[in-house]
Amino acid sequence: MEIIDRKENPLLNRVEIEFRWNHEGSPTPSRADMLNGIASIEPGSNKDLIVIKNVKTRFGIGSTTGLGLVYSDANSMKVEPGYIHERYSGLRSSNEAPAEEGDAEEQAEEESADDGGEA
């Protein structure tokens, strides 16, 4: 795995890593392989706080490019949509996605608002 570009994004509390993975003669690397690769490249990163996006493999060329987002904490990771958390739920050490906490709070607020309107 080779790093094409590395950007610090303090506003979203993450590091954005564009990478290229040369895999001639072997299949496209799995999402788990890419997570492990990004975790080994970025010092101090936690595999549970990494998201891989924009993965593209060129036809006939054993090269895959993508974007790895390394978050510093679970709270910062809540900016990712729910389907991203579901996609990585099987690869995380804890199966609970960080976004689910916010969804539960929103549902509780909606239910309390609904109860108040019926009285």
pLDDT at 26: 85
Position 69, amino acid = L
| Contact between residue 82 and residue 97 where contact means Cβ atoms under 8 Å apart | yes
Closest among 99, 101, 33 to 64, alpha carbons compared = 33
d(CA 21, CA 118): 57
Domain that holds residue 9: 2-118
Residue 119: its pLDDT value, please? 44
The pLDDT of residue 94: 63
User: What pLDDT does 107 receive?
Assistant: 47
0.85 exceeded by pTM: no
- Which CATH number goes with the domain that contains 16? 3.30.70.330
pLDDT tens track, the chain, 119 positions: 889 999 999 998 999 999 999 888 888 888 888 888 888 888 888 888 888 999 898 888 889 999 999 998 888 888 888 888 888 787 777 644 444 444 444 444 445 445 555 54
The count of structural domains within the chain is 1
**Is residue 47 within 8 Å of 36, Cβ to Cβ?**
yes
pLDDT at 98: 46
